[in-house]
Amino acid sequence: MNNYTFIDGSVTAPMGFTANGVCAGVKAATNATQAVAANEPLLPKSGKRDLAIIYCERPCTAAAIFTKNAVKSDTIYVTQEHLQNGVAQAVIVNSGNANACNPDGMDKANAMCRLAAEALQLDENNIIVASTGVIGQALPIEPIAKGVDALKDILSKDGGTNAAEAIMTTDTVKKEWAVQLTLDGKTVTIGGIAKGSGMIHINMGTTLSFVTTDAAISSEMLRAALLEAADVSYNMVSVDGDMSTNDTLAIMASGMAGNTPIITQNEDYKAFVAALTAAFKNVAKKLASDGEGATKLVIAKVNGAKDNLTAKTIAKSVICSSLVKAAMFGADANCGRILCAIGYSGAEVNVKAIDVSYRSSKGEIMVCQNGCGLAFDEDKAKEILLEKEIDILITLGDGNAYAEAYGCDLTYDYVKINGDYRT
């Protein structure tokens, strides 16, 4: 029985945390298409929130994991340095500009931390900084300074949803969540926001995701929990096979729930990880279904693998296949594309034992048995594949291991969005 419950809420749900997001005009200033006037309304009718702060009233234990891309935003290097002592008290994050591949990127990342620290009267080293948006263009600091000045006066318990909006780029929906569980007889809350729509092929991080909790837990256990939960959730998401330069998954814990501090991987740690994993899996599905131009959430579910690594490798290979993704867009029940993706995954499998089925709310249909294609009702298959959520069920017959990966279809709109993303 699960010892957690999803509740309405966001990154401000845990005790001690406030947040908000404003329209600072980062992208407009980046493109130099319009000036950000000193008397410009904070959120003009045509504007979009693009700067957020998450703040805790006390210093928190903290941890983060990041992209494995060798090309990284300078925000990552600054945050890594700040988290060496496992302490943080606020997050500042902008959308509209990734602050990556810039000659002054480090200076701008440090400047963002300094602005937040001065506004909140905190130690600059206790600030987590992140950016997302266009790569290779200088980050304008003036609109961020203006936005921080506005944000310091409006941080609130109700501001989490505005912060979730502020980190969106090509996202079409906000990703925010909260979950509660009982640890040591105390009610513990975990909340979070995330963004991601394209350039998602995650490896030990995520797009951008910020998590808060009022649990008492050490920074070492927070990092272990992030790695464990992300491994079966965020790391199993792929929208387009492109790994971001800015992936950051950060967590802060205020300890205000009053539970006995978690300093080892005991039963309370396991319960915390279970709740975190459930939340991350829900977010992973939202990230995949909101892929750029996507019309369908596609989940590859691999059962009967000889070990967990084999199951994960095959699930991710199938979900990453451009041909599989295109077939899902066209509602084409082509089992050959599934088998092909399994074959080049690098996993060792008995091809003659592979079964493949498709399933949605309209039913289930088997299209491959013992590694060979079957005759099936094409009309029924199309009906199943026209739904918004599709499971690709793969049975290997080699063992008992299971894994699932989350992706989406490949549509005409993906090319349109990315063909002129910068302009």
Instruction: Look up residue 12 and give its two tokens.
Output: 């401000």
Q: Which two tokens stand for residue 100?
A: 């990556």
Distance CA 302, CA 318 (A): 10
CB count, 10 Å around CB of 198?
Answer: 21
Length, in residues, of the chain: 423
Tokens at 407, concatenated: 């992706």
Give catalytic residues, as residue numbers: 206
Q: How far apart are the first and last CA of the chain?
A: 50
Cα gap 139→83, rounded to integer Å: 23
Nearest to 410 by CA among 310, 337, 356: 337
Residue 184, Ramachandran bin (φ over 0: left; ψ between -120 and 50: alpha; else beta): left
Phi, psi of 397 (to 5 degrees): 75, 25
- Residue 372 pairs in a beta bridge with 369
- 417, two tokens: 């969005």
Distance CA 407, CA 410 (A): 10
Name the strand (E) or helix (H) holding 114.
helix 105-120
